[in-house]
Amino acid sequence: METMNFKYNFVLTPFLFLSFFINSQNSDLLKAPEGFEISIFADGLESPRQITETESGFIIVGSKNGDKIFALFDGDSDGYAETKMTVASGLKNPTGVTYHDGDLYFAEIEKVLVIKDIDKQLMEGPNPPKAEIYIDGLPSETWHGFRHLSFGPDNNLYIPIGVPCNICLEPQTKDKRFAAIHKYENDKLVMVADGVRNSVGMDWHPITNKLYFSDNGRDWLGDNSPSCELNVLDKEGSFFGYPYKHAKNVIDPEFGKLIPSVNKDFIDPIAELGAHVAPLGIAFYDKDKFPQKYKNSLFIALHGSWNKYNGKSGYKVIFVKLDSEGNYLYQEDFITGWLQNEKDWGRPVSPFITSSGLMLISDDKYDVIYKVQYKNNS
């Protein structure tokens, strides 16, 4: 990557090398298939969440508990982002970030903002870049209120809105934006998927252009039920079961009795991912730097359980193999090691495939972003 000169004030902290060494010690616990290497791309972050990349190679990352979003840059191409810029501050849980047609979009709980021509602003100023409101008036509830953003093949911004509860019906009865995924089209939210409890990850199949999304299952029905889900949207307006039915065959003990009165076709998930694993970000691999088996299939970050009595679940990144038409074939572990002797030292959040074909993964507990690359040693 060519050398860039910045007018923007950036942070290059002297303790980064010590921090890198300490973080690398824990990252050595992570295990991936043979031929893959895992390293620290950035550390010292604030509960990093969704990741995106600009045309000039800036890596932008949102935050769960912080009030800033950062731009990261590996200026010397050594695989470690020594440059960290504050893109925006004073925000409320700015988890979601996405890049589209030269502009950066990022989400707080109640609104989505946009920075036009983000690369130019990062390299030339102003400092900080100027943000404008793109969507305002989103629900203010913080329970399942962390936003995830993605632009679809139709050039519309997609945004899920989770329910502000574990299991309930009243909120989405009063406000139909809840428990659904929407696209922002012609200056208004249009529901595309209904009955979705809390999706924090979505991506489009590289060939079929169908939307795939994760969904977190409800709690307090036992350690092993219901399973969290991977879904695919075949038709806009489809209904995915919440709160009446969970996974493929779990009828809700409170709301399941209302199913006969629900005049909707229930769509089952294409894959069950396990109870309480908390699937968050998903990413299709459409590059050529990984082995062929990964092409046009997807990775899912399982953030990990918080309320299981007998053994934690999740805390890993899995690979989901699809056939050429996007149908589910199987799933397998891709990266493990965040859970050691029932103690979790990190929690993967959002896999992201860079323009160069590498994978980045955010970890909002260990406050780092990992880099995953394949090196064929044969």
Tell me the pTM: 0.93
pLDDT of residue 1 exceeding 50 = no
Q: What is the pLDDT of residue 377?
A: 54
Residue predicted with more confidence, 377 or 191: 191
- Residue 306's pLDDT band (boundaries 50, 70, 90)? confident
What pLDDT was estimated at residue 319? 98
From CA 252, how far away is CA 245, in angstroms rounded? Answer: 5
Strands of the sheet with 298-302, listed across from one edge? 279-284, 298-302, 316-322, 328-335
- The model's pLDDT over 27-52, given as tens digits with 9 standing for 90+, comes to 789 999 999 999 999 999 999 999 99
Contact 95, 147 (CB under 8 A): yes
Phi-psi region of 362 (alpha: psi -120 to 50; beta: other; left: phi over 0): beta
pLDDT (mean) for 344-360: 97
pLDDT at 236: 97
DSSP annotation of 186:
T
| Confidence grade of residue 356 (pLDDT, cut at 50, 70, 90) | very high
Q: What is the mean pLDDT of the chain?
A: 93
The pLDDT > 90 percentage for the chain reads 88
What are the tokens at 217? 């299952």
Point out which residues pair with 112 in neighbouring strands: 107, 135
Backbone angles phi, psi at 229, to 5 degrees: -130, 155
User: 245: part of which helix (H) or strand (E)?
Assistant: strand 245-246
Indicate the pLDDT class of residue 18, thresholds 50, 70 and 90.
very low
Share of residues in the chain with pLDDT > 70 (%): 93
Cα 323 to chain center, whole Å?
A: 23
Summarize pLDDT for 206-265 with one digit per residue, the tens.
Answer: 999 999 999 999 998 989 999 999 999 999 999 999 999 999 999 999 999 999 999 999
pLDDT of residue 307: 82
Domains and CATH numbers, the chain: 16-374 (2.120.10.30)
Residue 36's H or E segment, with its range, is strand 36-42
Amino acid of residue 124: E
Tell me, what's the pLDDT at 197? 98
User: With 60 as the cut, is the pLDDT of residue 112 above it?
Assistant: yes
- What's residue 27's pLDDT? 77
Q: What is the pLDDT of residue 92?
A: 95
Residue 261 confidence (pLDDT): 96
